[in-house]
Structure 1
Amino acid sequence: MGEVYRLLPLNVPEADIGSLYRFEPSFTEDSRRTSPNNGRESYEGDFSHGSTAALIPRPASRELPSPPEEAYLVSFVLNDPRHPYNWSALKKWTVLIVVCSAAVCVTVASSIQASTYQNLEDEFDVLRIEAVAGVSLYVLGFGVGALFLGPLSEFYGRSIIYLVSFALFTIFNIPIATAQNMGILLFFRLITGLCGAGFLSVAGGTVSDMFRPGTTDLPTAIYTLAPLSGPCLGPILGGYMNQNVTWRATFYLIIAWGGVEFLLLWTLVPETFLPIVQKQEARRLRISTGEGAWTSPSEKSGRTVRDVFPAALWVPIKLMMSEKMALAMDTWTSLILGIIYLFFNAIPYTFRTLYNFSLGESGLAFLALGLGMVLGTATQPLFIARIKDKGIRAGTKPAPETRLPVGMAGAILAPVGLLWFALSSFRKMPWIMPMLGTLIFGVGSVYIFTCVFGFLVSTYPKYAASAMAGNTLLRCVWAAGFPLFALPMYQGLGPEGATGLLAGLCALLAPIPFVLARVGPRLRAKSEYAS
């Protein structure tokens, strides 16, 4: 037959289907076929058993009405396998592991330069503070880049941000490895920090994209370990390398690692942000069906980066400055991260001064700090089970204050670990004693970060990305400053006095989770952003 029918989407309302056809009664005695001049065919049948209705296509001169716009709007049902929530556990954890390994890579790059200080001073004839500035500029790039890459991932997707930023991160490490003067090295350290920031600001969103609410605690704890353990791994890798070969090999290692990570991201990490997944599906349908009406909710909204980008940059700062809870938590994590980056100067100085460690051996001293962070992550299920139990008993979503007990434990362990380090930093003490102090501090730091991240996200669910971006900005600015005064402070006060001062600062902020446990609900009730 010559009549052509449109293939409708499955969700066209039944009332609209009837309008595509007309029904005419026929009482013919015999069957006959007619062929109008226009070449189109109609059929009439033998209905000798009585009157019935013959289905006759509408004349070609009348156009078929189009289905409603909603018929071409891409959406996923609850159990749709295309929704990241419904991916297999193997796929989800593969994505998480690859993203975490990339986060380790960019954070290793932040601290591995700490092993190159002496070599940079000798080759470029610069002061120690200029060599240390490479670490500070890199970490500063983390904080600034997070403000930009986070909002961009909401429009272009997580995957493209990962690929582009990591490709640039790898490429811009080449000028560092081949630098002929300190200015080039410092400039590209800042640029690579900006590029690597995606794994601090975007990766948390990847976790929430794939794991349903109430199941994100363990993935978040594992992701939290990645950017904290990376800085500890940097001196371990760089110590013996810089002791035995040129400092440039340090950055050739990062380039090779970055290339491998880029391939893993390209092959194993698909898009996880639901609006972009729907947008990609709409594009696929337009191409495969030739129907240009297919669209996604994000395309239909018509929003552009220009519409929301200024607010995305301003809201994290405004929230941090106007919300007492956010400012307290951000300050707390900023001090902890600042101390971690200060240790890249303090630990080598302490162990080389007191115990005559070599450059490689002083790098191994960071093993205790890293082990403490692993132990802190391994014990997270104890706190996660308690949070879930409180939610089940209450019959509702757990309150943000249920996240605070793990922070209370960290508030005690972090200053205790620093005090242990301070009191055991003497020649008469075996070298294992101050290392035990860094192990205790490592456990406490993971507890603090887990508490703060969970509390911010659950307190400001509608502004979680902004709350985390503000936290990243402040703690990276602090972490960038601490290495600059670390060595003068330890030379002036000694390891025991300088570390004792840090322990006192930690003790001053230790009451934060205990205070919020009491006044948190009242502050949330008055908050403009909390819900």
Structure 2
Amino acid sequence: MGRSDLKQDQTKHITDSAEAAWDEVFLVTFSPDDAENPLNWSKKLKWGVTAAVSGTGFVRIMVSTMMAPAINTIAAELNMSTTESTMALSVYLLATAFGPLFIGPLSEVYGRKSIFHFTNVWFLAWNLTCGFANSKGLLIAARLLAGFGASAVYSLGYGVLGDVWPVEQRGRSLSLYLLTPLTGSAVGPIVGGFIVEYSTWRWMFWATTILQVTLELSSLLLFYESYAPVLLRRRAEKWRKETGDSRYYAEVEMRESGRSAVWKLNRSLSRPLRLLAFHPIIQVQAILEGINYGLLYFALASFSALHVSAYGESISISGLHYIAICTGTISGAQLCGPLMDYVYKRLTTRTGDTHVPELRIPLLLPGVFFTPIGFLLYGWAAQHHLFWLVVDVGAALLSLGMQIFDTTLHAYVMDAYPEHISSASAATQVLRSLLAFAFPLFSNRLYDTLGYGWGNSLLAFLSIGIALPSTGILWRFGAKLRARRQSSY
């Protein structure tokens, strides 16, 4: 928010008491070389914080996909129908639709650190409960609640990256942050397949709980508060106490002056939904990411079953094919990151403009085309029972395209909403997780009706039919849409 917006906010919201006479001499800010400014932290400290959120992201995403090879086994033991067992897999994603709506804004009120540790412990407790579930109702409920804690990675993680890494290093930080969590999306089904075949499915949850405990203990040493408004508020409070001068203040205190704690909390918690309802940039990104993520989980839900039914493989071996999807997503993130920074630097040099989010948009195009090509190759190779490697290449291509598209969109939103990255990420996560929850529920019926060839062709046409025109809209009208938006505060 600019200085003029702050003055308007001050005029509109602050009472007429003497406290309203804010003197800029006492405004608490970061100096350009301030060591306490997260953007000026040492590389070691920045990578430590990044590693902490990346490591917990690995466990949370691994748990989201680990159940895929075990669906039939769990269904038989807990007397679940096919729909109910698939629900146990997908309900985790349902929670990630709504969890960020609370977690993201709360991290902008109470700081990243406290919310980060709280969600870690919450996830740990309910994931452990899944391992002891003796009924389908308890398993589904525990998966839902574990997913709520796991959803922090979808809002809090991006907020932390925006706190500590400057715009010109956005791509590199995103690619390295995503490396570990994206590995989890493939490691989950692979490990899950072997656990189901050689042990009890319950060890999927017990083992990941042990890993989560280890990561949480490590993060106590690595994770520091990084949200600048909270740090500046604390600095202002410290200076008022040390000097006895009550005139020191932070910008966030000026905005909230005269407001009750309930109003502040309500304003914060409503932010993601306000962004989704009134900000076209968020609406477009939510639709694009929703379709993208839903299609990915559509493929994940049926991928293992395809190799078991069509190629006669065991559950454990079928899980190894998720390496193809993992290879695509990791390659997409690692190629996209450095390329994003390179393209952004070239475009800013050529145009003379700096901090223009639309300069991220050209990198969406590779993702627009790789995804449908991958779906077509995967679908028709499976339809005609071609060599399994052809199917895997198709899966790798579609996941590569999706990851390039997704990473670029995240960078775009982070640039467009620098002060409220967590809330903006939470707003876009709603539709994304809802579709990831819903799409797998219909995968079996679609493939039974149309077959893998025409079924995946339908998904390919849906992907490019939405992504291509939307990319053009963002490039052509993105700046105008941002100019007309309301304040994110």
Match of 2:303 among 344, 347, 353: 347
**Structure 2 counterparts to residues 142-161 of structure 1, below 5 A:** 142-161=96-115
State the partner residue of 1:439.
396
Distance 1:225 1:338 in 2: 21
State the partner residue of 2:57.
103
Specify the SS of the correspondent of 2:67.
helix
Deviation at 1:172, TM superposition (A): 1.7
State the partner residue of 2:17.
none
User: Per the alignment, do residues 519 and 279 of structure 1 end up closer, same or farther by CA in structure 2, a change over 3 Å counting?
Assistant: closer
Tell whether the 8 Å contact from 1:116 to 1:242 is kept in structure 2 after alignment: yes
Distance 1:70 1:514 in 2: 43
Question: More displaced, 465-474 or 291-300?
Answer: 291-300
Match of 2:42 among 88, 92, 103: 88
Distance 1:463 1:335 in 2: 24
Q: CA-to-partner distance for each residue in 1:63-93, whole Å, 9 max, x for gaps?
A: xxxxx99999765432222221221111111
Specify the SS of the correspondent of 2:168.
coil
Distance 1:71 1:406 in 2: 43
- Consecutive unaligned residues of structure 1, counting only runs of 5 or more, are 1-67
Distance 1:519 1:74 in 2: 37
State the partner residue of 2:264.
308
State the partner residue of 1:514.
472
Distance 1:361 1:446 in 2: 25
Tell whether the 8 Å contact from 2:96 to 2:151 is kept in structure 1 after alignment: yes
User: Per the alignment, do residues 423 and 233 of structure 1 end up closer, same or farther by CA in structure 2, a change over 3 Å counting?
Assistant: same
User: Per the alignment, do residues 295 and 171 of structure 1 end up closer, same or farther by CA in structure 2, a change over 3 Å counting?
Assistant: farther
- Aligned partner letter, 2:301: N
The answer to which structure has the higher helix fraction is 2
State the partner residue of 1:223.
177
Deviation at 1:359, TM superposition (A): 0.8
Q: CA-to-partner distance for each residue in 1:424-465, whole Å, 9 max, x for gaps?
A: 114541100010001111210111112211222334456544
TM-score (ref. length: structure 1) = 0.80
- Aligned partner letter, 1:309: L
Tell whether the 8 Å contact from 1:132 to 1:483 is kept in structure 2 after alignment: yes
Aligned length: 463
Q: CA-to-partner distance for each residue in 1:151-200, whole Å, 9 max, x for gaps?
A: 11112110111111101111122221111111111111111111111121
User: Per the alignment, do residues 447 and 258 of structure 1 end up closer, same or farther by CA in structure 2, a change over 3 Å counting?
Assistant: same
Tell whether the 8 Å contact from 2:169 to 2:341 is kept in structure 1 after alignment: no
State the partner residue of 2:209.
255
User: Per the alignment, do residues 451 and 247 of structure 1 end up closer, same or farther by CA in structure 2, a change over 3 Å counting?
Assistant: same
Are 1:356 and 2:319 matched, yes or no?
A: no
Are 1:320 and 2:276 matched, yes or no?
A: yes
Question: More displaced, 240-249 or 215-224?
Answer: 215-224
TM-score (ref. length: structure 2) = 0.87
Deviation at 1:305, TM superposition (A): 5.1
User: Per the alignment, do residues 201 and 89 of structure 1 end up closer, same or farther by CA in structure 2, a change over 3 Å counting?
Assistant: same
Distance 1:108 1:326 in 2: 27
- Consecutive unaligned residues of structure 2, counting only runs of 5 or more, are 1-21
User: Per the alignment, do residues 322 and 283 of structure 1 end up closer, same or farther by CA in structure 2, a change over 3 Å counting?
Assistant: closer
Specify the SS of the correspondent of 2:54.
helix
**Structure 2 counterparts to residues 105-504 of structure 1, below 5 A:** 105-225=59-179, 227-280=181-234, 297=250, 306-380=262-336, 381-426=338-383, 428-461=385-418, 464-504=421-461
Bigger-Rg structure (1/2):
1
User: Per the alignment, do residues 70 and 519 of structure 1 end up closer, same or farther by CA in structure 2, a change over 3 Å counting?
Assistant: closer
Question: More displaced, 506-515 or 200-209?
Answer: 506-515
Quote the sequence identity (%): 26
Tell whether the 8 Å contact from 1:72 to 1:293 is kept in structure 2 after alignment: no
- Aligned partner letter, 1:425: A
Specify the SS of the correspondent of 1:397.
coil
Higher relative contact order (CA 8 A, sep 6+): 2
Deviation at 1:351, TM superposition (A): 1.1
User: Per the alignment, do residues 391 and 495 of structure 1 end up closer, same or farther by CA in structure 2, a change over 3 Å counting?
Assistant: same
State the partner residue of 2:4.
none
